[in-house]
Amino acid sequence: MKKFLAILLLGTALVAPVAAYARDVTIQGQMSSYRGPEAYLAVYLAKPDGSYDSTLYVAGRKSRYYRDLSGWARLAARDATLSLDGITGASIGSGKSFSINLSLADALIDAGYTIHIDSAVEHQGSAADDVVLALDSGQSGSAQSGQGFIGSASVNM
Partner 1 sequence: MLRCLHSIPGLLAALVVSFMAITGAVLSLQPLVERVFAPAGNEMSVATLVDRVLAHQPQTESVVRSASGAVTAYVANLGIGIDPVTGASLGPVEHSALFTFFTELHRSLFLGDGGRVVAGVAAVAMVILATSGIALLINRMGGWKQLFATARGTLSQRLHVELARLAVICLLLSAMTGVYLTLVTFGIVSDGGQGFGFPPYGSGEMPAPIASLSALQEVPISDLRSIILPMADDTQDVFTVTTSAGTGYVDQASGALLDFTPNAPMQTLYEAIYTLHTGQGYWWLGVLLGLASLAVPVLMITGTLIWLRRRTSMPRMPCDAGWRKADTVILVGSESNTTWSFAATLRTALAKNGHAVHVAPMNGLRASYPSASRVLVLAATYGNGTAPANANRFIERLARFQGTGIDYAVLGFGDRKFRHFCAYAETVEHAMAAHGLKPITGFEPIDRQSAQAFGQWGRRLGAAMGETLELLHQPTQPKTQSYKLIERHDYGIEVQAPTVLLRFAIPAAPSWTQALKSRLGLDGFFAGDLAGIMPPTDPIPRYYSIASRSADGILEICVRKLRGGVCSDYLFGLRPGDSVEAFVRPNPDFRPDTGCQPLILIGAGAGVAPLVGFVRANSRHRPVYLFSGGRDPSSDFLYREELKAQLDAGRLTRLFAVFSRVMGGRYVQHRLLDEAEQLRSLVRQGARFMVCGSAAMGDGVRASLDNVLAPLDLSVERLQSAGRYAEDVY
Q: Which residues bind partner 1 (CB under 8 A)?
A: 35-37, 62-64, 66-67, 70-71, 73-74, 76-77, 84, 93, 119-121, 123-128, 130, 147-149
Between 76 and 135, CB nearer to partner 1: 76
> Is residue 23 left, alpha or beta, with left meaning phi > 0 and alpha meaning psi from -120 to 50?
beta
CB of 99 to partner 1, least distance (A): 17
Task: State which residue, 94 or 156, has the beta carbon closest to partner 1.
Answer: 94
- 55-70 burial, b for 16+ CB within 10 Å, e for fewer? bbbbbbeeeeebebbe
Neighbours of 144 (CB within 10 A): 18
Q: How far apart are CA 138 and CA 33, in angstroms?
A: 29
Minimum separation from the CB atom of position 75 to partner 1 (A): 9
User: How many separate helices (H) and strands (E) can be counted in the chain?
Assistant: 1, 10
Q: Give whichever of 124 and 156 is closer to partner 1, judged by the CB atom.
A: 124
CB of 121 to partner 1, least distance (A): 8
Smaller CB separation from partner 1, 18 or 35: 35
User: Please, what is the minimum distance in Å from the beta carbon of residue 66 to partner 1?
Assistant: 5
Burial 126-141 (b: 16+ CB within 10 A, else e): bbbbbbebbbbeeeee
Min separation Cβ 151 and partner 1, Å: 13
Nearer to partner 1 among residue 91 and residue 114 (C-beta): 91
Q: Which amino acid is at 8?
A: L
